[in-house]
Chain A
Amino acid sequence: MQVKLDNLAVARGGVTVLRGLDLVLHTGQALILRGPNGSGKTTLLRTLAGLQPAAAGSFDLAPDAVAYAAHADGLKPTLTVAENLRFWASIHGTPDIDPALDALDLATLQHRPAGQLSAGQKRRLGLARLLVTGRPVWLLDEPTVSLDAASVALFAGVVRRHLAGGGIAVIATHVDLGLPEAEVLDLAPYRARISVSNGFDEAFA
């Protein structure tokens, strides 16, 4: 299992934001994306998740290997924690949600409607969805937003177990996750200069 980016360029709203990304990730590796707001972290993750096409170049990653976690958690406030998670589990054909509930310390909350959870608890439930997808490549966009220090540590443990089990993770984050073994990729050198004649303006023709 590997993820390969080959001279990849990604665009948001028709404007190329990142270009020339070349890298290979192997089983068990984590990559942390860093860069200021607007540098294209989310756009890169969405492109890898198959939600939008690459502006140029290519990447080698099967769409059915990807579990994507966005800023939004995809929770239904009127369903309980267990119902929310069970829905995603059955969509992905995972029979059991208990390991995911336990891994993110949600077992005691499982009968509460998701609408009554605190922001951090919602986030944990959103992250528990990754576990029930059973997919090897995690694309995480700011996974630790509104998590407290203990929950960040809990989540780092979950990511580490995922990597040890043969997974791959690409994480866009500003905080220190406590994953010293993860590679850090600063996106600043790949930033595409914003200019009209950048070669990709055929989209506007």
Chain B
Amino acid sequence: MKALLFRDLRLAMRAGGGFGLGLAFFFLLSVLVPLGVGPEGSTLGRIAPGILWVGALLACLLSLDRIFALDFEDGSLEFLATAPIPLEAVVAVKAFAHWLVTGLPLTLIAPGLAVFLNLPPAGYLWLVLSLALGTPALSVIGTFGAALVVGLRRGGLLLSLLVLPLYVPTLILGAEAVRRGAEGMAPATPLALVAAISLGAVALLPYAAAAALRVNLR
């Protein structure tokens, strides 16, 4: 399992691996939105939590279709399915690798980009915390979606349509936690719910994704 994690990370870092795609998207969005919205600080500060969360979510979505598609095309997925590690573990490891190359870096650069969006100072801690708690859910739900569409040519559109509705609760609660934090209210409730979504997704979805993979590999 460690071998699979290291292989996925190594592949992401090598040429054409897609590491940085999501980050670059997140960066561009956070730089361009202030230019489009205009220089009024109070407007920007008010929409900053939502923009940052939407940006993180879409950046996550960009790299989802690669999770299984490449392994399916070159045949590795079939070999992994017959390998001694259970397919559920393969799914969990791949979701974790996806989080390490998208969710974690997004969380780490978010405070820097929040400066562009004039996020009130009280919100920074909650931005990082809500992204750290919420991005695992984005990766695991996305991995489940990717398992559903594996084998379809150009499954990216279908994948987005399947996954976006499942992302909505995380988005609402994550952005709400940041907004409350920024306005000096207690953000504990939405944060706890975001964490609950992540934990539930991590616990249940690898089984669902593995079942979908088995059907798609037939």
A124 within 8 A of B: no
Whether the Cβ atoms of B7 and A76 lie closer than 8 Å is yes
CA distance A68 to B83 in the complex (A): 10
Indicate whether A51 sits within 8 Å of B78 (C-beta atoms), given known contacts A90-B3, A91-B85, A92-B84: yes
Q: Which residues of A contact B3 (CB under 8 A)?
A: 86-87, 90-91
Q: Does A52 make an interface contact (CB < 8 A)?
A: yes
Question: Are A75 and B7 in contact, CB atoms less than 8 angstroms apart?
Answer: no
Q: Does B76 contact A (CB under 8 A)?
A: yes
Q: Which of A80-98 contact B (CB under 8 A)?
A: 83, 86-88, 90-93
Q: Is A74 an interface residue (CB 8 A)?
A: yes
Given A78-B15, A79-B7, A92-B84, A71-B217 contact (CB < 8 Å):
no
Kindly state whether residue A166 has any CB partner on chain B within 8 Å: no
The answer, yes or no, to whether B4 is at the interface (CB within 8 Å) is yes
Residue pair A51, B16 in contact (C-beta under 8 Å): no
Pair B218/A51 contact, Cβ less than 8 Å: yes
A75 touches B82 (CB 8 A): no
B7, B10, B17: which has the most chain A beta carbons within 10 Å? B7
B84 A78 Cβ-Cβ under 8 A: no
Question: Are A70 and B78 interface neighbours, CB within 8 A?
Answer: yes
The docked-state distance in angstroms from the alpha carbon of A118 to that of B35 is 50
Q: Is the CB of B82 within 8 A of A78?
A: no
Given known A51-B78, A74-B75, A75-B74, contact A93–B7 (CB-CB < 8 A): no
Say if the beta carbon of A150 comes within 8 Å of chain B: no
Q: Mark contacts of B1-29 with chain A using CB atoms, 8 A cut-off: 1 yes-contact digit, 0 otherwise.
A: 01110010011001111000000000000
* Measured CA separation A41–B16 after assembly (Å): 35
Task: Tell me the minimal C-beta distance from A203 to chain B in angstroms.
Answer: 12
Is the C-beta of A49 less than 8 angstroms from some C-beta in chain B? Answer: yes
User: Which residue of A68, A73, A79, A87 is within 8 Å of B82 (Cβ)?
Assistant: A68
Size bin of chain A's contact surface? 20 to 34
A176 adjacent to chain B (CB < 8 Å): no
Contact indicator A50/B82 (Cβ below 8 Å) = yes
- Measured CB to CB, the closest approach of chain B to A115, in angstroms, equals 10
- Smallest CB gap from A71: residue in B: B75
Chain A residues with Cβ below 8 Å from B11 are 76, 78-79
Answer whether A68 and B84 are a contact pair too, CB < 8 Å, given A51-B218, A78-B14, A91-B3. no
Whether A66 sits at the interface, judged by CB under 8 Å, is yes
Interface pair A87/B7, CB less than 8 Å apart: yes
Q: Which residue of A lies closest to B73 (CB)?
A: A72
Given A91-B3, A129-B79, do A74 and B74 touch, yes or no (CB 8 Å)? Answer: yes
Contact residues in A for B100 (Cβ distance below 8 Å) = none
Does chain A have a CB within 8 A of B81?
A: yes
- List of B residues within 8 angstroms of A52 by Cβ: 217-218
> Taking the nearest CB of chain B, how far is it from the CB of A12, in angstroms?
9
Task: List, in ascending order, chain A residues with CB within 8 A of B85's CB.
Answer: 91
Residues in B191-218 with C-beta less than 8 Å from chain A: 217-218
Mask of B111-146 contacts with A, CB within 8 angstroms, 1/0: 000000000000000000000000000000000000
B14 contacts A79, C-beta separation under 8 Å: yes
- Does A73 contact B17, Cβ atoms closer than 8 Å? no
Chain B residue at minimal CB-CB distance from A70: B75
Q: Are A63 and B79 in contact (CB under 8 A)?
A: no
Contact at A79–B74, with CB atoms within 8 Å?
no
Binding site for A on B (CB under 8 A): 2-4, 7, 10-11, 14-17, 73-76, 78-85, 217-218
**Apart from A67-B82, A75-B74: 8 A-B pairs, beta carbons within 8 A:** A51-B81, A51-B218, A53-B218, A70-B75, A72-B74, A74-B74, A86-B3, A91-B84
In the assembled complex, 16 residue pairs joining A and B whose CB atoms fall closer than 8 Å, in A order, are A51-B217, A52-B218, A53-B218, A70-B75, A73-B74, A74-B76, A74-B78, A78-B16, A79-B7, A79-B14, A83-B10, A86-B3, A87-B4, A87-B7, A91-B3, A91-B83
